[in-house]
């Protein structure tokens, strides 16, 4: 009996020693895997969320920048990515082409002015000759052929430039009966006839912005000047409401 108790005590002692040895081995770190226990001081930090993807980077908005004239780009005052403001000079275009066009236009203008002076002189001469033939006819000192020739020359010269107001109706030669008035002042007459009639007023705009307003009943000039596009229709009737407009002639 005593031997059996001793054996039991020995077994219990060995178990206790084994448990103590295992506990010491585990607590000393020999039994824990590397990195299982990690300590650090708690403090604020940033959290990063990274997304890796392939694609094409595009701007939020596109703005097309152009010029009203064409030509070779001479200077560029901005670089890619620069921030620009309204009215800022971005680039310079070679002005030689436009300057050549301006010079050509000025030369054409001088030629047209010379033609205008020539036509005015011819019209004045034709008027003088017709008046002379008219006086001679009243005095029965000229032939009908000479008078008809002077009259036709005057009508032809007038037809080269000017504005006629002709009453509708009639037949044959209605020069003496249906021509209400003739405007010989060609400064305001457009190269391509496109007059408008509104409330008894004739409006015309010539190339270069020359605006002319005539009284439709008499051909009297009401207003003339160089104006912009927005002012062309308002010339002689600023407070009128445009109701309708129709071409004439």
Q: Which domains does the chain have, with CATH numbers?
A: 97-160 (no CATH), 166-249 (2.40.10)
Rounded distance between C-alpha atoms, residue 165 and residue 36, angstroms: 109
Query: Which residues make Cβ contacts (< 8 Å) with residue 146, sequence separation at least 6?
Result: 133, 136
Residue with the two structure tokens 């409401």: 241
Cβ proximity of 213 and 202 under 8 Å: yes
Nearest to 188 by CA among 169, 154, 151, 161: 161
Rounded distance between C-alpha atoms, residue 198 and residue 242, angstroms: 8
In the 8-state DSSP scheme, what is residue 154? H
Rounded to a whole number of angstroms, the distance between the first and last alpha carbons of the chain is 150
What pLDDT sits at residue 239? 38
What tokens were used for 219? 């051909």
Cβ proximity of 117 and 102 under 8 Å: no
What pLDDT sits at residue 38? 72
What tokens were used for 64? 């097309």
Rounded distance between C-alpha atoms, residue 238 and residue 224, angstroms: 14
Question: For residue 210, how many other CB atoms are within 10 A of its CB?
Answer: 17
The 3-state DSSP class for residue 68 equals coil
What pLDDT sits at residue 230? 46
Kind plus residue range of the DSSP H or E element containing 175:
helix 175-178
Residues of the chain short of pLDDT 70, as ranges, are 1-4, 26-37, 158-161, 184-188, 191-193, 228-249
Integer CA distances (angstroms), 225 to 117, 124, 188, 208, 213, in order: 20, 26, 9, 11, 9
Contacts of 27-33 with C-beta under 8 Å, sequence gap 24+, read none
What pLDDT sits at residue 238? 43
What pLDDT sits at residue 244? 32
What pLDDT sits at residue 184? 66
169: left (phi over 0), alpha (psi -120 to 50) or beta: left
Strands 246-247 and 221-226: unpaired
What pLDDT sits at residue 59? 78
Nearest to 220 by CA among 207, 205, 239, 236: 236
What pLDDT sits at residue 201? 92
Residue with the two structure tokens 């901005």: 78
């Amino acid at each position: 009996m005593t031997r059996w108790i001793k054996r039991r005590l020995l077994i219990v002692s060995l178990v206790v020693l084994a448990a103590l040895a295992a506990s010491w081995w585990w607590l000393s770190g020999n039994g824990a895997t590397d990195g299982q226990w990690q300590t650090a001081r708690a403090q604020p930090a940033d959290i990063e969320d990274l997304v890796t993807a392939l694609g094409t980077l595009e701007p939020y908005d596109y703005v097309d920048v152009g010029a009203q004239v064409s030509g070779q780009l001479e200077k560029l005052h901005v670089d890619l990515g620069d921030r620009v403001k309204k009215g800022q000079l971005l680039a310079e275009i070679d002005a030689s082409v436009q300057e050549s066009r301006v010079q050509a236009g000025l030369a054409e203008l001088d030629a047209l002015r010379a033609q205008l002076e020539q036509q005015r002189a011819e019209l004045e001469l034709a008027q003088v000759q017709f008046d002379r033939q008219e006086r001679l006819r009243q005095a029965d000192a000229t032939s009908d052929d000479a008078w008809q020739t002077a009259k036709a020359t005057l009508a032809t010269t007038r037809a080269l430039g000017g504005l006629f107001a002709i009453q509708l109706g009639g037949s044959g030669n209605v020069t003496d009966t249906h021509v209400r008035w003739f405007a010989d002042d060609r400064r305001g007459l457009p190269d391509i006839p496109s007059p408008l009639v509104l409330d008894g007023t004739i409006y015309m705009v010539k190339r270069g912005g020359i605006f002319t307003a005539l009284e439709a009943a008499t051909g009297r000039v009401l207003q003339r000047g160089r104006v912009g596009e927005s002012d062309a229709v308002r010339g002689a009737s600023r407070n009128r409401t445009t109701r309708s407009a129709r071409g004439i002639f």
